[in-house]
Structure 1
Amino acid sequence: MVAERKTHPYLSLMNSYLIDSPQPSSISYWYNLGSLLGLCLVIQICSGLFLAMHYCSDITLAFDSVEHIMRDVNYGWLIRYLHATGASFFFVCIYLHIGKAIYYGSYRKPRTLVWVIGVIILIATMATGFLGYCLVYGQMSHWGATVITNLFSAIPWVGNDIVQFIWGGFSVSNPTIHRFFAFHFVLPFILAALVVLHFLALHTHGSSNPLGITGNIDRIAFHPYFSFKDLITVFFLVLIICLFVFFSPNTLGHPNNYIPGNPMVTPASIVPEWYFLPFYAILRSIPNKLGGVVGMFSALLILLFLPLLDRSLYRGLAFKPLSKFFFWLFVFNFILLGNIGHLHVEVPFINLGIYCTIAYFSYFLIIVPTISTLENILFYLGRSNK
């Protein structure tokens, strides 16, 4: 059986990825986030397929069809809550996964391609989450769709035409929901293809390790050690998701989204889902509309340039106290941006949002290049003193 799995044309491929794949023995539980993200994607695709069987993308029926799923379809409430809660945990895991990659320097050569594909997955995931949130067509969904799509009007000359093309008219209406549903249905499968590419790129050089040094000296097979290690965190994630689904399914949602969308009534405060709040805060913190749009998208795209901005000689922050200190300040600033994103646009939150936005971009453009260069100098001085 062992010989067959290593020589069979299909089994050998699976064997090389899931059984005999050599991994550094020092990798920690933070590296389990990849398998948790894979589980979340499977949950979202499977639950989404069942929801699509009963959902109606007509704007006059969209909200009622969701209520029909919740009240009339057998276990429809379970599937809908699993899909909504699964989306939140998808973003929890993806933010932690990106934070782990920044901390351990997983974006550096020779894994730059893995990092770039991962950032593309993040952007595609955010687009999928936004489209899905709009499909509920509650009060917050309608106004969230109106505000976010209207951002494209800031583009000079062609902005208004792009907005009308997205809407399929002069406001968020029936063609808009049809288009959002079509793209929301297709994007998860594109995400699955990107995940496969991400996995293939990772397999080329293998995982990095927390120490920031080569892991080729001490590697062990993925199965059974790491496969069992992944199952432990999978069990805990499923347990936490079940706790939210069965006992507190509305914790991560907005109460206004349980009111049918009404274009004639504007909510007191338009707030997107929690996982968009840090970038929404950046958008609101820049007074100029075009500047806010550029700032929001730049906050995502700047991640692509992190391999170029980090000039350190060594991978990861395990033995760099100065970089570690600023990394945790960055994490705190990101959480603070998320908190500012759901608050009213008023003093002192306006000024605080501006300071946090400056701090966010300063981390990538100033702190990372400067601190990494300084640490290189200190390293050379330390060696010369010896």
Structure 2
Amino acid sequence: MGSTERAEFKNPLIGWIDERLPVFTLMQKEYGVFPTPRNFNYFWNFGAIAMFMLITMIVTGIVLAMHYTANTGLSFDSVERIMRDVNGGWLIRYIHMNGASFFFVAVYIHIFRGMYYGSYKRPRELLWILGVAIFLLMMATAFIGYVLPWGQMSLWGATVITNLFSAIPLIGDSIVTLLWGGFSVDNPTLTRFFALHYLLPFVIFAVVFLHVWALHVTGSNNPLGLEPQSEKDTLPFHPYYTMKDSFGLVVFLVIYCVFIFYMPNALGHPDNYTPANPLVTPPHIVPEWYFLPFYAILRAITFEIGIPFTEITIISAKLGGVIAMFGSILLWFVMPWLDSHPIRSARFRPLYRLFLLLLLVDFVFLGYVGSQAADAEIFHIPLSYFGLGATGYYFAFFIVILPWLSKFEKGRELPPSIHEAVLAKHAK
């Protein structure tokens, strides 16, 4: 009944299966001969690397879940049992624990590449939106997973972050009670967090499927930001980019393995190796490193917004911080419409490139601010002032600078096509 033209396969078993269920024809079409711009650089490796890390996290997470006990009295001991008594348990846990950090490394680079080369612009708006949705799901999954070992930082991190929802007017306290499953972070909180942590990676995988589907509909962007105009502008994905992605993945895995085998706890927090104690507050509560910029934005808002010359408060400092933190990510969703400049790639937009690189420095600095105590100082100046300034630039970039550049920046002349630009580059 199907009218799809099937590929020919030498293996008779594959041919027999494909005749009845053309899954191999689909793979050949979408990943074998799929036309891909011929000028990809190594920034384009990180999408495949992120997919590999997601699968790694799901597989190791399932194995760890077989030995984990979601109970406040047993969870810490069950993690230690995995480390000591389960065959290869230490390795599986370190792969999973460091895998979260390296998954975020790959995704952060993937997002920056999208911003730098304009991969959020028409016709890839939905592709970009799905990518941001994946990032939000990753943040939720990682936060919930950080709670599961039930160490000191797990308990108090969960207490601080879930308490943020209490700032929402009218329904905030009800949301917190729902998250906790009671009136404090306790056993019901841990069990529902474990259930959600098991579920969300599969939700992420489903959204990744939609993300890749959208990519194969619109086609890939490229460093020039030009659409392919002929076959000369493209290469088949296999073998050219499968080999390129494989090389990049091997290099990435070498660095990943250095952390797994030689410094597995470098990206964690020592307080989480102490069992959770609700009676003892850690001196400095910090999230994992990949949340630190957003944590700094949350803490940067220390002032209230109200009606002048009255004592009426419209937005409390706590609510303002929550709005700023979530708003800093939600702005990514509307980036395709904030930046309406006709040129995609920052290679041909010098002002945009400058402001974007400043945003990168700003984001890293926010991460440093988030890692320090709230009362820390630089040159006898409270670090919170610098954090507020960095937060201001972050929002100014999206709300002010991008729309301004869209109207007034004059980009450089674009090359006529991808293949002509590639040939001109190699002719030099």
| Structure 1 residues 303-318: aligned runs within 5 Å | 303-318=332-347
> Are 1:359 and 2:393 an aligned pair?
yes
Alignment correspondent of 1:383: none
- Aligned amino acid, residue 333 of structure 2: L
Question: How far is 1:185 from its partner?
Answer: 0.1
Alignment correspondent of 1:10: 23
Alpha-carbon deviations, 1:103-144, whole Å to 9, x = none? 000000111110000000000000000000000111001000
- 8 A Cα contact 2:119 2:128, kept in partner: yes
What is the DSSP-based 3-state SS (H/G/I as helix, E as strand, rest coil) of the residue aligned with 1:220? strand
Question: How far is 1:379 from its partner?
Answer: 7.1
Alignment correspondent of 2:111: 98
Distance 1:196 1:379 in 2: 36
Alignment correspondent of 1:338: 367
Alignment correspondent of 1:120: 133
Distance 1:151 1:136 in 2: 22
> Are 1:258 and 2:292 an aligned pair?
no
Distance 1:154 1:72 in 2: 43
Alignment correspondent of 2:313: none
| Structure 1 residues 187-206: aligned runs within 5 Å | 187-206=200-219
Distance 1:320 1:160 in 2: 47
What is the DSSP-based 3-state SS (H/G/I as helix, E as strand, rest coil) of the residue aligned with 1:249? coil
Question: How far is 1:215 from its partner?
Answer: 2.2
Distance 1:172 1:244 in 2: 32
Gaps of 5+ in 1: 381-386
Rg larger in structure: 2
Alpha-carbon deviations, 1:182-209, whole Å to 9, x = none? 0000000111111110000000021011
Indicate which of 309, 322, 331 corresponds to 1:293. 322
Distance 1:181 1:198 in 2: 26
Alignment correspondent of 1:384: none
Question: How far is 1:11 from its partner?
Answer: 1.4
Farther-moved stretch of structure 1 (169-178 vs 11-20): 11-20
Distance 1:183 1:117 in 2: 20
Distance 2:227 2:214 in 1: 18
> Are 1:230 and 2:264 an aligned pair?
no
Identity %: 49
- Aligned amino acid, residue 226 of structure 1: Y
Provide runs of 4+ in structure 1 moved above 6 Å: none
Alignment correspondent of 2:71: 58
- 8 A Cα contact 1:69 1:76, kept in partner: yes
State the Cα RMSD in Å.
1.5
Alpha-carbon deviations, 1:297-334, whole Å to 9, x = none? 00110000100010211111111111111110000000
Alpha-carbon deviations, 1:69-116, whole Å to 9, x = none? 011111100000000000000001111100000000000011111000
| Structure 1 residues 134-173: aligned runs within 5 Å | 134-173=147-186
Alpha-carbon deviations, 1:249-275, whole Å to 9, x = none? 000000101100111000111000000
What is the DSSP-based 3-state SS (H/G/I as helix, E as strand, rest coil) of the residue aligned with 1:23? strand
- 8 A Cα contact 2:349 2:412, kept in partner: no
Alignment correspondent of 1:322: 351
Aligned length: 379
Alignment correspondent of 2:289: 274
> Are 1:32 and 2:45 an aligned pair?
yes
Distance 2:34 2:298 in 1: 43
What is the DSSP-based 3-state SS (H/G/I as helix, E as strand, rest coil) of the residue aligned with 2:79? helix
What is the DSSP-based 3-state SS (H/G/I as helix, E as strand, rest coil) of the residue aligned with 2:348? coil
Question: How far is 1:3 from its partner?
Answer: 2.2
Farther-moved stretch of structure 1 (213-222 vs 292-301): 213-222
Distance 1:281 1:236 in 2: 32
Distance 1:331 1:216 in 2: 33
- 8 A Cα contact 1:208 1:215, kept in partner: no
- 8 A Cα contact 2:47 2:110, kept in partner: yes
Question: How far is 1:50 from its partner?
Answer: 0.5
Distance 2:407 2:39 in 1: 27
- 8 A Cα contact 1:323 1:371, kept in partner: yes
Question: How far is 1:286 from its partner?
Answer: 0.6
- 8 A Cα contact 1:277 1:339, kept in partner: yes
Distance 1:158 1:325 in 2: 42
- Aligned amino acid, residue 309 of structure 1: L
Highest relative contact order (Cα 8 Å, sep 6+), 1 or 2?
1
Q: Whose helix proportion is higher, 1 or 2?
A: 1
Indicate which of 358, 365, 368 corresponds to 2:402. 368
Alpha-carbon deviations, 1:196-247, whole Å to 9, x = none? 1000000002101101112233111000000000000111111111111110
- 8 A Cα contact 1:24 1:216, kept in partner: no
Distance 2:267 2:412 in 1: 46
